[in-house]
Structure 1
Amino acid sequence: MRSCFLVFLFLSLLLSLLCHHVEAGCFCDHEACTCSGDDIVDITGLLSESVCPSGYSYSRLVITRVPNLVNIPDGFGILQASPCSGLQELEVLELHQTGIQNWSSTLFQGLPHLKTLDISNNSFLTSYRDGVFEKLGGSLEELIAMDNRVRSLTRRAFAGLRNLKRLILSRNKIGYFEEGVFSSTGNLIELSLDGNILTDLENGTFLGLNNLQSLDLRGNPLQLLYPGIFSSFANTLTHLWMSHDDFVTFGGFDTIPTGLFTGMSSLVELSMVELKITNLTTESFKGLTNLRRLSLHGNRLTLLPKGCFTPLINLEELDLSANGMVCIPDNSDEYYPKLRFLNLSLNGITHLTKRSFSMLSSSKPTAKFPRLIVNISSNPIRRIEPDAFCYFKGPLELILAGEHQEPPSWASMANWPDNPFALVGNESIIHGLKPSEVIGGRSDAAAFCGPEGSLFRDKILASDMYKNSKYTEKDIENSLNSECPWMVPDELSPWQLAKLGVPGGKHGAIALEEGSRIYLLIIVAVCITFLLGALTIIMCYRTWSRRATQKVTMDVEANIGNGNGVGSHNMETLATIGEVPEKTDLLEKPKNGKPHPPVEDKEGSPKEHISRTGRRNSEPRGEELETMTAFGVI
């Protein structure tokens, strides 16, 4: 019995721990006062003296997991009467997972010292009323409103927030701004709009943000950027992030609008990830003279035109990964003295030559970057020329495979150290030639990369690494002499083949878009055909039914008009129409099981009449007429 009681007690305790019900109440520690609970419907009286340990001053209040707190009619001015020290001069207020629906300006009255307001994770927050934060304008510096359901921002949504410096609106459903929505937030420094559904940004969108330094637009299906969209903060913006998803069929744009970055000389970091960019020009990055980090990861840049990065004289890091590039163009006549990091992974590069890394020919190590970092992992490389790594002016960190990845088939250590990878230079390191091991280059690599090293390079070409090559000397010569060295197009992805003009090649996302359109057209055509066929059948049936009904009605009227009964021949006519088989049975079946005697005229003969069709029929009796009337025959 005792053991059963212990089991029951244990199960009760377990159920209480698993229960999602939150006990109502507040507690305070040395950092903040926190109120939560399913039963909280009003905050009046929650912050009593009993929950505030003496000796502490509380300037932060957190109200969370209160789904039944739907309204605070007197606003947070009631905190002025709280016995908890410091809450009268509240500086940080957090409202999470509440049931508040009336987000009006009265909600935040009585908070003259508030600096940070966090209203994230409120499922009922779908819009901001005009002037909702206006009473906080004299003190509020940070407004965080993430993971809500706001769809649009009206012109006066942030009216009065003249001291606001940080505005976080991440992961809402914002798709529309009224022009001038930020006109009252002239001191804003950081604006995050990531994870929304913005598509078009017009010139007046950011009007008034004259001091903005950081703008986050990642996770938006941007498809149209007007030149001059960033003009309000062209001289102050330092960080700009934009991204989308390449597998989503809508959003993105083919090329960067000319003049988009005009005058943005303060920008140091630019990220344009998976925006479906296919073309760059010499004007694409004009004006970004101080840019240090550029990411174009996940776009569709199969080929890079010469001079597209020329304006970026201070560039330090360049990410061109996952673009499907088939080659690295010769940039030997371009000057990038500060470039220290080049990411070419996840592309379609097949042939590495001495010109492949000419972009780094003017780069030299620094205290910040003791080695130049080059990532060429996940490329279908089929041939590496012996002098491919001879263009570097200092130690190199070469990445052939990522961490915990098996070395690619082309990362061979055959005849080491008489190997192209050994010529990366003294103090250079290579990742991916061996699993979980870093390999160093030859200390005498510089000597073999000069004119006197031709014999050594011929020795490498005569090794087994090149003897078993399936490519002819003509193939190799054509690749070396082209502006874009590449080998064997059938080793490339379908998209790269399409961009190179090879028949049958299509990029997966492009093929998906085209296939989706075709299937949609087919479905629409089938639906229209089905509807037209159904409409035709209905019209034909109605026409046939109308004519048949008219014919029967005319026959019955003729019989009645001539005073004749309805004979069996006429009933057969009704039955053949297919609409009144039951009526015929009812008419022909007598009530008492005996046939009705014919009705005779004065001379004693059955009364008959001739129908319009020439048939002789007996006149229907009284019971038959009632039944025919009930079934709509007459």
Structure 2
Amino acid sequence: MNAWCALTFFWLAYFWHGTLSCPALCKCYPRRAEVVCNEVSLTEYPTEGLPKNTVLLTIQFTNITSISECHLNATPLLQELHLYSNHLQNLSPHLLRGVPHLHTLDLTGNQLTDQPADVFSHTALRSLVLKNNLIENADAEWLPDNSSLTWLDLSGNRLTKIPTALLQKLPRLEILDLSNNQLEKISANSLDSLTKLERLNLQNNKVDMLDASVLQHTRNLTYLFLSHNKLDKLSHNLFQELAQLRVLSLEENQLSHIPSGLLDQLSSLDEQGLDLTSNPWLCDTKVEYLWRWLQKNHMKVFLPETIICAGPQSLAGRSVMSLTDSDLKLQS
């Protein structure tokens, strides 16, 4: 048994490139080739002592303000880099040149703004998370043409427009999160290149209209989040190409009517997959289409009884589901 333990120790030491060293304020897990640094007092990137064969590195809740290509050269086999909730402001040009195996980079909760060209080039990144930073412009020069990205998260920043030029470099993108920004307009061709897109999150923005053709090329969409915007009308053919859509959230907008036929295009909705709550529905004769659709498809709607009339005054507060032919002044 003692001989086996000695052999195991020797093997681990060899695999860890001849050393069991670990940076101060960090924890190293040789079996997983993982390093975790989780100390507020850390002020500089912990290059010294990092095992060269590290594949997973997490540095979180520290006072680090910058990271450079030279820092990452210490771990040439790195595959995942998670830099949550630090104080990063600056990333060096060609940041990833020394980590060609890196596929996941998470920079959530830092203070990043504009960054240099090619900052995320030189490796086949698949996941890039820039959530909760101070980014106003997502530059197309950040990434190479024909990028391998399948997941891009730019939520919680200060974007005022869709980064169309950047998106044109992402033909493999499956998940795009632009929620919690300051987007106002979604131009007609801004998503045309995203033919593999499956999840699109635009909630908590200031979007007041969607061009009828904006979703015509995103035919693989299964989840679409549009809640907490300022949408007051929808084109009757907005969803006509979304035959695979399973979840659609439209709550907390300014919708008063649904165009006739709009929801008939969404035959793949999950049970409770459609949310229409907290809109100022006007229960006049134009609400007939929504009323009839809800009667037949209420199982597909989240809390259908809470879809409430905002007017006219005689019906205010009534559930659309509860209305009658007489309420809507429909001829029998």
Give the TM-score, by structure 1 length. Answer: 0.43
**Could you say if the C-alpha distance between residues 383 and 258 of structure 1 is closer, same or farther in structure 2, counting changes exceeding 3 Å?**
closer
Q: Which segments of 5 or more consecutive residues in structure 2 lack a partner in the other structure?
A: 1-19
Shift in Å at residue 382 of structure 1?
10
| Bigger-Rg structure (1/2) | 1
Unaligned runs of 5+ in 1: 1-43, 80-86, 245-250, 352-377, 389-475, 484-634
The equivalent residue for 1:366 is: none
SS in 1 for 2:76: coil
Identity %: 21
Distance 1:46 1:311 in 2: 57
Distance 1:331 1:112 in 2: 57
The one-letter code of the counterpart of 1:322 is: S
What CA distance in whole angstroms lies between the structure 2 residues aligned with 1:263 and 1:130? 33
What displacement does 1:326 show? 3.1
Q: Distance in 2 between matches of 1:187 and 1:239?
A: 17
Contact 2:66/2:91, CA 8 A, preserved across alignment: no
Matched with 1:481 is 330
Distance apart, 1:198 and its partner CA? 1.1
Asked if the contact 2:307–2:320 (Cα under 8 Å) also holds between the matched residues in 1, the reply is no
After TM superposition, give the deviation of residue 203 of structure 1 in Å.
2.6
SS of the aligned residue for 1:329 comes to: helix
- Consecutive aligned runs of 4 or more in structure 1 exceeding 6 Å deviation: 332-339
SS in 2 for 1:243: coil
**Cα deviation, residue 296, structure 1:** 0.3
Return the letter of the residue paired with 2:277.
S
Match of 1:60 in 2: 34
Q: CA deviation at 1:267?
A: 0.6
* Distance (Å, rounded) in 1 between the aligned partners of 2:321 and 2:218: 41
The 1-side partners of 2:264 and 2:85 are apart by 45
Q: Quick check: 1:225 aligned with 2:186?
A: yes
The one-character-per-residue Cα deviations of 1:176-229 (angstroms, maximum 9, x if unpaired) are 122242335722111111111111114313121111111111111210212222
- The answer to whether 1:243 aligns with 2:203 is yes
Change (3 A) 1:477 1:210: closer
CA RMSD for the aligned pairs?
3.4
Assess if the C-alpha contact under 8 Å between 1:182 and 1:206 holds in 2: no
Q: Per-residue CA shift, 1:461-504, capped at 9, x if unaligned?
A: xxxxxxxxxxxxxxx84733289xxxxxxxxxxxxxxxxxxxxx
Higher helix proportion (structure 1 or 2): 1
The superposition leaves residues 79-117 of structure 1 with CA deviations (integer Å, 9 ceiling, x where unpaired) of 3xxxxxxx3411111112333344211011131221110
Q: Deviations over 1:6-45 (max 9, x none)?
A: xxxxxxxxxxxxxxxxxxxxxxxxxxxxxxxxxxxxxx96
Contact 2:105/2:127 (<8 A) preserved: yes
Distance 2:317 2:58 in 1: 49
Residues 1:266 and 2:216 aligned together: no
Contact 2:147/2:172, CA 8 A, preserved across alignment? yes
Matching residue of 1:181: 142
Aligned-partner Cα distance in 2 for 1:266–1:160: 29
Deviation of the 1:275 alpha carbon? 1.0
- After superposition, residues 228-627 of structure 1 pair within 5 angstroms as 228-234=189-195, 236-244=196-204, 252-316=206-270, 317-327=273-283, 328-330=287-289, 340-343=299-302, 344=304, 346-349=306-309, 379-381=317-319, 384=322, 477=326, 479-481=328-330
**Contact 1:201–1:225 (CA<8 Å) still a contact in 2?**
yes
Cα shift at 1:333:
8.9
Could you tell me which amino acid in structure 2 is paired with residue 308 of structure 1? L
Q: 2:169 and 2:301 mapped to 1: Cα distance?
A: 37
Q: Would the aligned equivalents of 2:294 and 2:321 in 1 still touch at CA under 8 Å?
A: no
Task: Give the 3-state SS of the residue equivalent to 1:93 in structure 2.
Answer: strand
Q: Deviations over 1:352-388 (max 9, x none)?
A: xxxxxxxxxxxxxxxxxxxxxxxxxx94359956xx6
Matched, 1:193 2:154: yes
Distance 1:346 1:152 in 2: 43
Q: What SS class does the counterpart of residue 39 from structure 2 fall into? A: strand
C-alpha distance in 2, partners of 1:482/1:203? 49
CA apart distance, 1:306: 0.9
Q: State the number of aligned residues.
A: 301
Preserved CA contact (<8 Å) 1:302 1:326? yes
For 2:71, what is the secondary structure of its paired residue? helix
Q: What is the CA–CA distance in structure 1 between the aligned matches of 2:42 and 2:222, rounded to whole Å? A: 47
